[in-house]
């Protein structure tokens, strides 16, 4: 088949990971990159052999682009995605899908009306690390899934990030910034969420920048920086998620699924590789070390392309991302109100990738 022509909007730090991978996957061809900082876009284009660069219109108005990879800041994810859809292009967007339900829903409805596809990060859940754990669940190796556990605790990115303000603004915080990795995994493993109840809040209303030229300055905190959530899944299972930017102790990458017969301990959902452990009562745990050579951010784009060719729903679809957004906003609303919040959206059922799936072969 002819490779699908990809254009990237946003030439920031994460674009390096996407460019490194997408320029090596035979199903796609990166033909343009655009950014408000056109010099930065030109530098990335030169580094990775991309023929066209410029502002956002170098991608969005480019007739040679079939699929737009939206790597802009969360506040404009929906707006840029809508521009791409209106221009007749499919979209892969970084997480979260949007900042609120109404605009994200309108964008997905526009895509459906235009016959365009929308996919959304994280595609780490498509990596062989998490997919190995998911295949254990789908194969019945843990019996009937009954519960899940996700933990991400750190002191916060203000300790190391030179400009951390956006990570604490509305649409940031551990729930919307880090949560997509964990909540997407919980939904894939245990099914859609029907309601949540959560507690938490902000340890401090202002934070201090510790590194870089802004060191010593403070900024306001808008998003909850601690969230302890109980999720009720449609399957009857429940899961607990602990998300914090307020913890002196660093405890991350905890992702477990327990069933009636066994437990599977997944790899870090923010990575593509790692160790997957299958544990049974009274038996030695079985560990599988998963490698992901050549597999990284961008494999969700490949799955979109292959799913479109096969007439199937993409695994990291916009509808899955909308459900995860719905769950995350419900958690924040529950923290604010102190009440249980229902989750009305339902994503399509998604099968695990077959063992040995690779983006490296067309």
pLDDT at 171: 86
Q: Residues 144, 213: one domain?
A: yes
- CA-to-CA separations, 132 to 24, 273, 287, in angstroms, rounded: 24, 10, 11
Q: Residues 47, 92: one domain?
A: yes
Q: Residues 66, 211: one domain?
A: no
Q: Which residues contact residue 219 at a Cβ distance below 8 angstroms, ignoring those fewer than 6 apart?
A: 164, 165, 168, 206, 207, 209
Tell me: the pLDDT tens digits for 87-142?
Answer: 999 999 999 999 999 999 999 999 999 999 999 999 999 999 999 999 999 999 99
pLDDT at 338: 97
Q: Residues 8, 27: one domain?
A: yes
If one counts the domains in the chain, the total is 2
Map residue 189 onto helix, strand or coil.
helix
Last residue of a domain, one of 92, 120, 148: 120
Last residue of a domain, one of 120, 142, 172: 120
Per-run averaged pLDDT (10 residues), the chain, 362 residues = 94 96 98 98 98 98 98 95 98 97 98 98 98 97 98 97 92 95 98 98 97 96 97 98 97 98 97 97 96 96 96 96 98 97 95 93 89
Q: Residues 108, 176: one domain?
A: no
Q: Residues 41, 146: one domain?
A: no
pLDDT at 116: 98
Q: Residues 207, 315: one domain?
A: yes
In 115-152, alpha helices (H): 128-138
Q: Residues 112, 155: one domain?
A: no
Q: Residues 153, 285: one domain?
A: yes
Q: Residues 235, 222: one domain?
A: yes
Per the domain annotation, does 236 fall within a domain? Answer: yes
CATH number at 275 reads 3.30.360.10
CA nearest 84: which of 101, 99, 102, 71?
A: 71
Domain that holds residue 251: 124-342
pTM equals 0.96
Q: Token pair for residue 14?
A: 């994460």
CA atoms within 13 A on the CB side of 328: 34
Percentages (nearest 5) of helix, strand, coil residues in the chain: 35, 25, 40
Q: Residues 191, 322: one domain?
A: yes
Q: Residues 234, 335: one domain?
A: yes
């Amino acid at each position: 088949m002819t490779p699908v022509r990809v254009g990237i909007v946003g030439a920031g730090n994460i674009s390096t990971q996407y460019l490194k991978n997408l320029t090596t996957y035979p199903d796609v061809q990166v033909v343009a990159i655009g950014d408000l900082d056109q010099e930065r876009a030109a530098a990335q284009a030169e580094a990775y052999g991309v023929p066209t660069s410029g502002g956002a219109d170098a991608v969005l108005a480019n007739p040679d682009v079939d699929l737009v990879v939206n790597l802009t800041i969360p506040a404009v994810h929906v707006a840029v995605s809508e521009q791409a859809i209106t221009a007749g292009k499919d979209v892969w967007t970084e997480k979260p899908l949007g900042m609120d339900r109404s605009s994200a829903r309108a964008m997905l409805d526009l895509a459906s009306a235009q016959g365009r596809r929308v996919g959304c990060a994280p595609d780490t859940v498509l990596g062989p690390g998490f997919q190995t754990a998911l295949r254990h669940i789908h194969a019945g190796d843990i019996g009937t899934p009954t519960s899940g556990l996700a933990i991400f605790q750190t002191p916060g990115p203000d300790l190391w990030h030179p400009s951390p303000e956006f990570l604490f603004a509305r649409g940031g915080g551990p729930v919307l910034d880090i949560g997509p990795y964990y909540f997407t995994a919980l939904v894939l493993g245990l099914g859609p969420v029907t309601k949540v109840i959560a507690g938490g809040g902000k340890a401090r209303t202002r934070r201090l920048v510790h590194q870089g030229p802004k060191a010593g300055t403070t900024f306001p905190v808008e998003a909850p920086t601690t969230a302890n959530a109980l999720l009720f899944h449609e399957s009857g299972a429940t899961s607990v998620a602990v998300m914090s930017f307020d913890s002196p102790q660093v405890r991350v990458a905890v992702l477990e699924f327990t069933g009636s017969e066994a437990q599977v301990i997944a790899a870090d959902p923010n990575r593509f590789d790692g160790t997957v452990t299958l544990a049974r009562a009274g038996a030695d745990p079985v560990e599988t070390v998963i490698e992901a050579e050549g597999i990284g951010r961008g494999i969700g784009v490949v799955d979109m392309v292959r799913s479109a060719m096969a007439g199937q729903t993409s695994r990291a679809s916009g509808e899955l991302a909308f459900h995860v957004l719905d769950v995350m906003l419900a958690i924040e609303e529950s923290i604010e109100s102190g009440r249980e919040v229902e989750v009305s959206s339902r994503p399509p059922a998604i099968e695990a990738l077959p063992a040995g799936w690779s983006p490296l072969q067309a």
